[in-house]
Chains A and B, each alone.
Chain A
Amino acid sequence: MNPLMLKRWNPYVVGLLIGVLSWATFLTMDKALGTSTTMVHLSGLATRAVAPEHFAANAYYAKEITPKNPFFDWQFFLVLALPLGAYAAKRLAGDREVERVPGLWAHRFGPSTLKRHAAAFVGGAVLLYGARMAGGCTSGHGISGGLQLAVSSWTFFMAMFASGVATAFLLFGKEGRRHV
């Protein structure tokens, strides 16, 4: 069978491919894989549209959005293409699953989409705040920094994993393990 049509690949194979992808980004672009800076570019675009003077006065936007890293840079297009790649992978496997409220969440917090959307929104805001404070996310720190043996990245990785586990158990408890 054509492997592209399989619904799920061995996670070790995917890890290997992501490792090889990181070689390519270092070689071709002199850059490490990352995604969370793009969220800064997006919020910068929005801030600039609403309050251009406030945007211009902000030290963080001045640091992150530069002539070398303009609004629509390499990573911006990478993030833009992520859903397209995922969509292609899903369609090739003939998978049409649409997820509104995940089973585990519904088991604990009920079937309300509003509640789930609110939690996803808050979670997204919290995690990106943390990523920017730490200087990267699961890809920039976790994978790219981890493979370069960076002290910053391993500190982040350990902290985020411990806190993710603690939060998940606080939210869903041991009981939740049977409903994932």
Chain B
Amino acid sequence: MFDTGYPIATGVLTGLFFGFVLQKAQVTRYRTILGQFLFTDFTVLKVMLTAIVTGGIGILTMHQLGWVSLHVKSAVLAANAAGGLIFGVGMALAGYCPGTGAAALGDGSRHALFAVLGMVVGAGLYAETFPYLQENLLKWGSYGKVTLADLLGLSPWLVLLGLAAAAGFVFALVRRWEHRKSQAAHTGTERARPLPAH
């Protein structure tokens, strides 16, 4: 029923740290999540892409040193894609994902409680339908624990570098857009307009 002391202690410490920083990024707020989906606030993408690139560099290094083993989830493309599509609908409706929803309980969000209760019910519904899905959807497009590096036949370092470059490109675009938005806010216009020619 219970894990022993060590996993409990590290679990609590990890959760405290994770919850703390999620709140400091304000991704425990409905408006931050919906702002990302409506492209008025890019906090979510900034946090996620930076975490992915930073995490990836460290994990790949430590993996090559033999310090850690990887935990790649199996690719079952139909289920990964369909699950993702369903997840997005729910996330836009709830305004939270599981981690930010749980953290939002401590951030003064009353409706997050209902979102988390819904999540428990959703988990139960999935457990009930699992025997049926197991026979079909969960077998379609099954490729095992593959990575993008395996798929492309490239070094993982190269893929990570490409990913970092793509993230950098997105951040540069966002920065430009934010700059134009703040200029527009200063001049009181809806959208930044070019300066009139003299």
Contact = CB atoms under 8 A, between A and B. Distances in A.
Contacts of A135: 73-74, 76, 79-80, 83
Interface residues of A, number: 131
> Which label, helix, strand, loop or mixed, suits the secondary structure of the B interface?
helix
B75 interface: yes
A123 B7 CA distance: 31
Contacts of B109: 98-99
Interface string B37-72: 111111100111111111111110010000111111
Interface in B12-40: 12-31, 34-40
A166 B42 CA distance: 16
Given A143-B51, A152-B75, A168-B92, 20 more contacts: A12-B47, A19-B53, A35-B102, A36-B98, A58-B131, A85-B18, A86-B28, A113-B111, A123-B95, A124-B121, A125-B121, A128-B119, A129-B126, A130-B83, A138-B97, A149-B148, A157-B84, A159-B83, A163-B84, A172-B34
Nearest to B190: A178
Interface in B88-102: 88-102
Contact of A84 (B38, B95, B106): B106
A36 B51 CA distance: 19
B118 A125 contact: yes
Contacts, number: 539
Interface in A90-130: 90, 95-105, 113, 116-130
Contact count band on B: 35 or more
B115 A123 contact: yes
B74 to A, nearest CB: 6
A1 interface: no
Contacts of A28: 10
Contacts of A31: 71
B192 interface: no
Interface of A: 6, 8-9, 11-12, 14-33, 35-36, 38-40, 42-44, 46-47, 58-61, 70-90, 95-105, 113, 116-169, 171-172, 176-177, 180
Given A151-B147, A152-B74, A154-B148, A58 B127 contact: yes
A121 B115 contact: yes
B85 A130 contact: yes
> Which label, helix, strand, loop or mixed, suits the secondary structure of the A interface?
helix
A174 to B, nearest CB: 8
A180 B48 contact: no
Contacts of B177: none
B106 A90 contact: yes
A132 B29 CA distance: 23
Contact of A140 (B73, B75, B145): B73
B172 interface: no
A119 B40 contact: no
A124 B119 contact: yes
